[in-house]
Structure 1
Amino acid sequence: MHVYIIPRFFKAIPAPLIAIIVLTALYMYTGSDVRTVGDLGNIKQALPHFLIPKVPLI
């Protein structure tokens, strides 16, 4: 909803940027617990193995 209302007042600053700033400030003020990708599972720190697929020509 904020993304639709904000452009009426601030035309020089993109509405999504203002929404991100406001929500970040709200998170920092309330100190709520926010889940991240690292909380949901392990992230490998290596590149995937290179593999040439075997495709039949016929």
Structure 2
Amino acid sequence: MAVEDAAPPVAVVTGANRGIGYEVVRRLAGRGHRVVPDDGPSGGFFRDGEPVPW
């Protein structure tokens, strides 16, 4: 399999709803990674009261 055909890297990021975790998710997604954000039992991913579009 050629590198071009490989699936994008996958990252699971905890604490993704704010701070460093949020920034890590944003940057990885911007680089083409598939990101699985996790913020525990908060029930969703929001930034300034709006849903976060990954």
Bigger proportion of residues as helix: 1
Coarse TM-score class (shorter-chain normalised) = under 0.3
TM-score by length of 1: 0.25
TM-score by length of 2: 0.27
Structure with larger Rg: 1
